[in-house]
Amino acid sequence: ARGAPSSEGGDDEWVSFTYEDHVLATVADGVDAQRNQRNVGVAVPLGPVRVPASHPRNHDGQCFSVLVTRTVDQARPGSDEIERAYEDAWVGRDGYLRVDGGRQRRALAFLGDVRDERGGIVTELFVVDLPDDVTQRGADPLEGTLTRRPAPPAGTVQRRLTHTTERRYPGIQGVRHWPRSCADGSCIAFLMRDDQRHVQLWTIGPEGGQPQQITQHPFDVASAFSWSPAGDVIAYIADGSVFVTRVANQTSERLTMPIGRSVEADHELGTPRPEACVFAPDGKSIAYVRSVKTSDGVYNQVFVVQVALGE
């Protein structure tokens, strides 16, 4: 497992993670084997998994784990095939409501690398709908083989949400970030450049459609971001400040100044770092990280800013 795991919003029992295959990474030259590639998996508490103690690094597990994304060694230009799946995040606290009126209980949004018509790599936004039972084999073995990647379970549906290859600035862009959905799963936020080359916040529905530009800044959104608990506001760093934007009317508000002096001590404050701004559970404050220069050196510290979203 690689990267930071995240728990499923509804019951916090399913955990997603990114994965790379050490077996395939160490296959001898000349062997007909698939490439080791980044993929997304989930761990589900279905009881302990016992493995033979035939190797010192074999360990029993408390969850049943499977890969839920499918990659290929070489994506066909212009297709929805991907060569890498990463930066995963759960959609909604209880999944999302489909256009047919049914509820998709669990789904993950993630970034996937496709190839455009010219063969260049472009990062797009994808979603994978998960079945309730992830123990059932699909077309290929869940566990993979010595030369083939593990395969998603039966009922897993992987879909491409964005098609940006013909845009002026194609692809998901900006600082490293994870797509994030609002609480009810009705839209997923991500970063992409506008036609003026500025990195902006955009949203799209979990079943696709036309992306909606949420911010209109003359500068880049410069951090990962998070939704308010109510699902109507997104917090992020831009122009050296903490910002919030109300998604419905696309109005933005600067909450902090780029630099300043601490009121408690004669410390110089640097600009906020590009890690995500995080809302408190009550939505009334936002935590973020910025550097503080003291006589002893420069240190990263956690700050909190109050926000009045009802005004």
Domain contains 281: no
Q: What is the pLDDT of residues 189-248, one digit of tens each?
A: 999 999 999 999 999 999 999 999 999 999 999 999 999 999 999 999 999 999 999 999
Q: Tell me if 236 sits within 8 A of 187, measured CB to CB.
A: no
As given in the structure block, the two tokens for residue 282 are: 């009550």
Domain contains 122: yes
* Mean pLDDT of the 164-171 span: 97
Report the chain's mean pLDDT, rounded to a whole number.
92
Domain contains 77: yes
Domain contains 92: yes
Q: What is the pLDDT of residue 270?
A: 78
Domain contains 69: yes
What's the angle, vertex CA 137, arms to CA 133 and CA 141, rounded to 5? 140
Domain contains 264: no
How many structural domains are present in the chain?
1
What's the angle, vertex CA 210, arms to CA 208 and CA 214, rounded to 5? 110
The domain of 66 spans 1-168
CA dist 268 and 260 (Å) reads 6
Q: What is the pLDDT of residue 262?
A: 47
Domain contains 188: no
Q: Tell me if 107 sits within 8 A of 96, measured CB to CB.
A: yes
What's the angle, vertex CA 264, arms to CA 259 and CA 269, rounded to 5? 20
Q: What is the pLDDT of residues 246-296, one digit of tens each?
A: 999 999 999 998 765 444 445 567 788 888 899 999 999 999 998 888 888
Q: What is the pLDDT of residue 156?
A: 98
Q: What is the pLDDT of residues 73-91, one digit of tens each?
A: 999 999 999 999 999 999 9
Domain contains 141: yes
Q: Tell me if 42 sits within 8 A of 54, measured CB to CB.
A: no
Compute CA distances 15 → 9, 147, 193, 292, 300, whole Å: 10, 26, 31, 34, 29
Q: What is the pLDDT of residue 293?
A: 83
Could you tell me what percent of the chain has a pLDDT over 90?
Answer: 81
* Mean pLDDT of the 13-41 span: 94
CA dist 83 and 34 (Å) reads 11
